[in-house]
Structure 1
């Protein structure tokens, strides 16, 4: 059966990702731990982050106001086979944030 793959970009507080890594080192599966934190996706305030994906080959750029406050960014339509390049243009420090790209597959119906 063919699979449908979606790819999301998450922006999570770094402290939560550090906690997830600690949990996984104590025996919990990292992906399961991150599942509990995904609901806490939060993008930086307007005007401070621009995202480019494969901008050299017909990719896509997202402006700050296109990032929905509590939702991951669906980048599925702009990911291509082989190497992909994501560029984060930050207009302020963002060490308190961690960006995670995650593919998810489901059977095609």
Structure 2
């Protein structure tokens, strides 16, 4: 049984090899636990249950082995990911690109 509370101003990381203890926690945080499991308690994000938001839009897994663009720093990788999701300073450009792709 695990119990923890992380405030809105906290950020955290889980570092190390994925063990039997870490895997269920990561699955719970990402909203991917097997629905047939009998659970007690809940995982919330800013007071909202996992059924009220899309966990992949608020959480990320970053491997220590870069398999995408090896020249980018961690900061650049996170900024790139945010821009791809349609947020940040280039939202208008991405919206226009999306509109053009749909019309093509």
Asked if these proteins are the same fold (TM beyond 0.5), I'd say: no
What's the TM-score, normalizing by structure 1?
0.25
Normalised TM-score (structure 2): 0.26
* Structure having the higher Rg: 2
Say which structure is richer in strand.
Answer: 1
More helix as a share of residues? 2
Higher relative contact order (CA 8 A, sep 6+): 1
